[in-house]
Chain A
């Protein structure tokens, strides 16, 4: 598969992390999954892509990650020039934890550094840091099967963070978790984002999750995925439990819901 069109200097100077221009993805079987889609994501922004299943939001994320090339259009991703000692511009978290079952949590987190031939000392330091960031230091030697669903997701998140990426791509990472675990991971993710100043692109089909987390919600149409509308969630930071239960939050959710399904506006529970 071809490399995506990498950083053009102009998107860097424009303060953008990702720019998609008239991107279309048509699969070999002739199905057009996505596009045409235009999307700009600013550096340090937290953006959610929201849409029904099969609207191509995961496809868009994979294209940004460089997993596959667009059929039409360009994908530009900005990143620091310095990619030495195991740094990688993009961290990716899949819907499933996608851990290697034969390796401990620590070795799973080590993977990106090992593939980049980072030195052992540097790798060990970064792994401990990443595991601490997701609160899993005590479980470094546990195997995936010994961890709960939420903990496995944290390992997956630590693995994405260990290369100190500029951009974090999350593909419905918490969809398979119970609500209590999901709320906690939502808050932890927000904490990490505030602390680490990463650009986050978050794919979800939950209206509530997207409104709670993001600065901007991009609502997409069903197949092929196009931009339906977008909402800027401007509220007092940092967000917490009081935001989740506020009338303001409910208002945003109602507006986003009706944009998602204009026919049965407001009725939809995501």
Chain B
């Protein structure tokens, strides 16, 4: 890939964004649309700056929830994957319920959780429920993708179960686990937002999603857009960070992290 193509890859999305925003601004101004119907990008930006104290606090709350849900999903998913790998019976007994938990829409579970659990706990549990399954299924896939001959080699040299796990299965599964974590990061944010919205309608909470719902009731549309923008940026940053971690961990050996040359 030459440098011109590289610059093009960076510039084109930015150009599309600028054009889109310009068009949006133009439509609002030419038609004199009121901010409570459709705010212009400039007004959204103004609101973002003006409401920063409120919005930044809410962003902090949502990010913390997401982080807690993500850590729970990562630890829970990997631990359960390891357990399943060590005991087939455990896998047969529990895996169907992990699937059920995954396929039941979290938006439908959230109100129930809010009844039985303290609100903050319920929100984290929601973030965990949507995040843990990709980690679990990827960990399971990775642990089962070990090269057959390498496994034979470990057997030949009398490796213990623990040695096989530590020196063979875990490193082999690492690219898969990291892939699962990358998906789980974004999903944890979604889970947190869904639970906040469910909780927000019940009249409590202070995360970004709650701000969106609240602003909606007050017809404060510019703030809705500003909060939405922050959520998108948060999602992009989370994905970017996890992709970076994955790249740094795998760069010496895994195909996914290698350059495209040769």
Contact A98 B253 (CB under 8 A): no
A114 within 8 A of B: yes
In the complex, which residue of chain A has the Cβ closest to the Cβ of B159? A115
B52 within 8 A of A: no
Complex interface: chain B residues within 8 A of A65 (CB): 156
Contact B149 A143 (CB under 8 A): no
Shortest distance between the CB of A147 and any CB in chain B (Å): 12
- Residue positions of B touching A, CB distance < 8 A: 147, 149-150, 152-159, 163, 167-168, 171-172, 174, 252-254, 258
- Residue positions of A touching B, CB distance < 8 A: 1, 62, 65-67, 88, 90, 92, 94, 96, 98, 100-103, 111-112, 114-116, 143-145, 163
Complex interface: chain B residues within 8 A of A114 (CB): 167
Known A66-B156, A111-B167: A96·B149 in contact at CB below 8 Å: yes
Complex interface: chain A residues within 8 A of B154 (CB): 115
- Can you list the 3 inter-chain pairs with the closest CB atoms, starting with the nearest? A98-B149, A115-B157, A94-B149
In the complex, which residue of chain B has the Cβ closest to the Cβ of A94? B149
How long is the Cα–Cα vector from A265 to B227 in the complex, in angstroms?
Answer: 82
Complex interface: chain A residues within 8 A of B155 (CB): 1, 67
Complex interface: chain B residues within 8 A of A100 (CB): 150, 167-168, 171
How long is the Cα–Cα vector from A98 to B153 in the complex, in angstroms?
Answer: 9
Contact A115 B163 (CB under 8 A): yes
How long is the Cα–Cα vector from A112 to B153 in the complex, in angstroms?
Answer: 9
How long is the Cα–Cα vector from A67 to B163 in the complex, in angstroms?
Answer: 18
Complex interface: chain A residues within 8 A of B147 (CB): 98
In the complex, which residue of chain A has the Cβ closest to the Cβ of B252? A143
In the complex, which residue of chain B has the Cβ closest to the Cβ of A107? B167
Our count of residue pairs bridging A and B at CB distance below 8 angstroms stands at 55
How long is the Cα–Cα vector from A120 to B150 in the complex, in angstroms?
Answer: 23
Shortest distance between the CB of B143 and any CB in chain A (Å): 15
Contact of B156 among A92, A96, A101 (CB under 8 A): A92
Known A98-B147, A102-B174, A145-B258: A115·B167 in contact at CB below 8 Å: yes
Write 9 A-B pairs (CB below 8 A) sorted by A numbering: A90-B156, A94-B152, A98-B149, A100-B171, A102-B253, A102-B254, A103-B171, A111-B153, A115-B163
Chain A CB count within 10 A is highest, among B157, B168, B171, for B157
Contact B254 A101 (CB under 8 A): yes
Q: Contacts A65-B156, A100-B168 known; list 7 others, CB within 8 Å.
A: A67-B152, A100-B167, A101-B253, A102-B171, A111-B153, A116-B157, A116-B158
Shortest distance between the CB of B145 and any CB in chain A (Å): 12
DSSP majority for the A interface?
Answer: loop
Complex interface: chain B residues within 8 A of A96 (CB): 149
Contact A143 B253 (CB under 8 A): yes
Complex interface: chain B residues within 8 A of A66 (CB): 156
Chain B CB count within 10 A is highest, among A88, A111, A144, for A111
Complex interface: chain B residues within 8 A of A67 (CB): 152, 155-156
Complex interface: chain B residues within 8 A of A111 (CB): 153, 157, 167
Known A102-B174, A115-B159: A92·B253 in contact at CB below 8 Å: no
Known A114-B167, A115-B163, A145-B253: A98·B157 in contact at CB below 8 Å: no
Shortest distance between the CB of A243 and any CB in chain B (Å): 32
Shortest distance between the CB of B7 and any CB in chain A (Å): 29
In the complex, which residue of chain B has the Cβ closest to the Cβ of A1? B155
Complex interface: chain B residues within 8 A of A62 (CB): 152
Shortest distance between the CB of A68 and any CB in chain B (Å): 9
Chain B CB count within 10 A is highest, among A90, A94, A115, A145, for A115
How long is the Cα–Cα vector from A65 to B156 in the complex, in angstroms?
Answer: 7
How long is the Cα–Cα vector from A96 to B152 in the complex, in angstroms?
Answer: 13
Contact of B157 among A88, A94, A102, A143 (CB under 8 A): A88
How long is the Cα–Cα vector from A144 to B157 in the complex, in angstroms?
Answer: 21
Shortest distance between the CB of B256 and any CB in chain A (Å): 12
Chain B CB count within 10 A is highest, among A67, A96, A144, A163, for A67
Complex interface: chain A residues within 8 A of B159 (CB): 115
Shortest distance between the CB of B152 and any CB in chain A (Å): 5
